[in-house]
């Protein structure tokens, strides 16, 4: 069975739509701003600066930055959605959404008001911060009446959403699936990662000998997933998953779970590792993650495919990262002169790591790169690997 990521919409720190993101991405731009949310120190975050649409009045109780990010990405699916609605009954259109922050930012404002003895903000409703609301909100925004649910597996959430979309199509439970994810910035998340000593003092530098942590970003990315190429012929060849549960926040140093997820994706795609042309690395910029991932890529891919981490440009978008980074590959496979996302860092590759074939900023044209892998590795060992292909 062929499955197509036939249409896509996204918003992140690099831009408010596909065109803007692509221009900034392939130009090697970085989308970071100083952040003073952590007491007694500074860091950087990647925030969406464009205005976001409000939800319709009937969904006002769910109105949060997180759902508005999702709404912004979904508005870019109009072409594909129109075709899907014309072909399939609403009951045959499903939704799978990934998130980890939901409406926490709005909850923070409400809690702060409560602590001051002030009234709650008039627009606040607790339903806006429920972790499972995103799938239902997306379904109502697009008019889908098939299965609709939310996945929250930390930073692999929206990659797992793509796997679920593939299963819904394969089992005949749906004819089209809106799949992706959204996560918004909030103080709780930034301070939580700072407490784990995972936040970079400056702008993150994946695979650098000077790397010292991540920068948090926010984003939304959603795909229209179908068995037929309604708009674009980008195939979702395979998705692999594993849960190694090595540690609540640190990866297995040997990368056994990461390797298992990649091998599972290759098996589903019916491909050998040598078929992969490009890998979008998880590449967070933390000491342990980068060391683990470099080791896994080095032993699995003897052909040394081109690689890059997009987190050096738009930060770690948490639950939205899997779909966001798959969306960056989608952009590369749908034109833009054969360019791949460049690897942006300080240029000082860590000599202690196996040497990866990084896409350079000043010469990142890669004509012929057709089979692409995207890695997402999350807390608790929730790993996912997505393989995409530029179909004929």
* Mean pLDDT of all residues belonging to the chain: 94
Residue 229: predicted pLDDT: 95
Q: Where are the domains of the chain?
A: 4-390
Residue 8: predicted pLDDT: 98
Catalytic residue (choose from 160, 316, 364, 389) = 316
Catalytic residue (choose from 35, 155, 307, 372) = 155
Q: Is 364 labeled as catalytic in the residue annotation?
A: no
Sign of CA dihedral 34, 67, 336, 341: positive
Dihedral pair phi/psi, residue 135, rounded to 5° = -60, -40
Residue 151: predicted pLDDT: 97
Q: How, if at all, do strands 371-378 and 219-226 pair?
A: unpaired
336-383 pLDDT, tens digit each: 777 899 999 999 999 999 999 999 987 555 556 789 999 999 877 789
75: helix, coil or strand?
helix
120: helix, coil or strand?
coil
Q: Which fold has domain 4-390?
A: Peroxisomal Thiolase; Chain A, domain 1 (3.40.47)
Residue 365: predicted pLDDT: 56
Residue 82: predicted pLDDT: 95
Rounded Cα distance, 262 and 333, in Å: 20
Catalytic residue (choose from 282, 343, 364, 389) = 282
Nearest to 189 by CA among 85, 105, 64: 105
SS (H, E, C) 243-305: ECCCCCCCCCCCCHHHHHHHHHHHHHHCCCHHHCCEEECCCCCCHHHHHHHHHHHHHHCCCCC
Q: Is 204 labeled as catalytic in the residue annotation?
A: no
Q: Is 246 labeled as catalytic in the residue annotation?
A: no
Report CA-CA distances (Å) from 9 to 115, 187, 240, 330. 39, 26, 23, 10
Rounded Cα distance, 387 and 374, in Å: 6
Residue segments in the chain with a per-residue pLDDT below the cut of 50: none
């Amino acid at each position: 069975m062929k499955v197509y990521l036939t249409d896509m919409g996204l918003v992140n720190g690099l831009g408010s739509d596909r065109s803007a993101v692509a221009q900034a991405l392939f130009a090697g731009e970085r989308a970071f701003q100083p952040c003073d949310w952590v007491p007694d120190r500074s860091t950087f975050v990647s925030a969406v600066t464009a205005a976001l649409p409000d939800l319709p009045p009937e969904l006002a109780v769910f109105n949060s930055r997180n759902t508005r990010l999702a709404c912004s990405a979904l508005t870019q699916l109009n072409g594909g959605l129109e075709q899907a609605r014309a072909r399939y009954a609403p009951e045959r259109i499903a939704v799978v959404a990934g998130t980890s922050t939901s409406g926490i930012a709005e909850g923070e404002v409400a809690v702060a008001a409560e602590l001051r003895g002030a009234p709650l903000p008039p627009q606040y409703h607790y339903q806006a911060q429920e972790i499972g609301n995103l799938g239902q909100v997306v379904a109502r925004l697009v008019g889908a009446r098939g299965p609709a649910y939310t996945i929250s597996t930390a930073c692999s959430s929206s990659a797992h959403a793509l796997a679920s979309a593939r299963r819904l199509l394969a089992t005949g439970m749906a004819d089209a699936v809106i799949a992706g994810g959204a996560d918004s910035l909030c103080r709780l998340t930034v301070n939580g990662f700072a407490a784990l000593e995972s936040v970079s003092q400056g702008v993150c530098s994946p695979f650098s000998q000077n790397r010292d942590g991540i920068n948090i970003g926010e984003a939304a990315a959603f795909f229209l997933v179908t068995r037929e190429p309604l708009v674009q012929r980008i195939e979702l060849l395979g998705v692999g998953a594993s849960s190694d549960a090595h540690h609540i926040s640190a990866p297995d140093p040997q990368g056994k779970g990461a390797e298992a997820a990649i091998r599972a994706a290759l098996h589903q795609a019916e491909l050998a590792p040598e078929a992969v042309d490009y890998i979008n690395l998880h590449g967070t910029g933390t000491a342990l993650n980068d060391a683990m991932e470099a080791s896994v890529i080095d032993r699995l891919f003897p052909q040394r495919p081109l690689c890059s981490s997009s987190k050096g440009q738009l930060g770690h978008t948490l639950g939205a990262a899997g779909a966001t980074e798959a969306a960056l590959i989608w952009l590369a496979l749908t034109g833009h002169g054969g360019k791949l996302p460049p690897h942006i860092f300080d240029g000082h590759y860590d000599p202690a790591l196996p040497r990866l074939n990084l896409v350079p900023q000043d010469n990142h044209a890669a004509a012929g790169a057709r089979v692409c892998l995207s890695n997402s590795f999350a807390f608790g060992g929730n790993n996912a690997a997505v393989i995409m292909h530029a179909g004929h």
